[in-house]
Amino acid sequence: MSDPFFFGYGSLVNRRTHDYPHTSRARVRGWRRIWRHTKLRQLAYLSVVEAPEAEIDGLIAAVPNGDWAALDVRERAYTRLRLAPEHVDHDHPAPVDVQIYRTRPEHEDAPDIRHPVLLSYLDTVVLGFLDLFGAEGVARFFDTTDGWDAPMMDDRAAPIYPRAVVPDSSVRRLIDEHLDRLEVRRFKA
């Protein structure tokens, strides 16, 4: 049997944050991204919610030998769910079993000033989308994500996110333009 795959829709889209093989661009139907805080983490991160008419772009990657242990530790605030094959479109040359992580509903809440989104996390996510889908994919990311009313901590000067990938000034401007368009509140770390 072939290796299972995960569908990444946030930081896992940025291939510089992991070394999982056989990555391919993908799109999932029936889910939408949302900013969520979970009682299992101090900060807010991306999650997904079921949304029958929605589609989100992302990345699929193989989990060698079905060894989910390391990824489950990285995604410890999430639960892993199998996606119906008809809900996943991808560039991989063969059919694959795909799973998605979402925060555990019993632990989640909306982000707040004590549990904000980190700008260094968003920068890392957007760089992944830019690499895979270009500027149009970045715009789709912003447009297919809910919860932009979440407070965002500007930690760019000293990134708190442990897998931060620092964008250049042109990418920072692109991100800031989208944040300004969506009227996202930012405050300094």
Tens-place pLDDT, residues 142-185:
999 999 999 999 999 999 999 999 999 999 999 999 999 999 99
pTM: 0.96
Kindly list the domain boundaries of the chain, sorted by start residue.
Answer: 5-188
CATH architecture observed for domain 5-188: Roll (3.10)
Average pLDDT over residues 77-96: 94
Q: Is the CB of residue 17 less than 8 Å from the CB of residue 59?
A: no
Query: Do the strands 24-38 and 108-109 form a parallel or antiparallel pair, or are they unpaired?
Result: antiparallel
Tens-place pLDDT, residues 34-48:
999 999 899 999 999
For the chain, list the strands marked E by DSSP: 5-8, 24-38, 44-62, 78-82, 88-90, 98-103, 108-109, 117-118, 145-146, 152-154, 186-188
Query: Do the strands 5-8 and 88-90 form a parallel or antiparallel pair, or are they unpaired?
Result: unpaired
Distance CA 107, CA 77 (A): 8
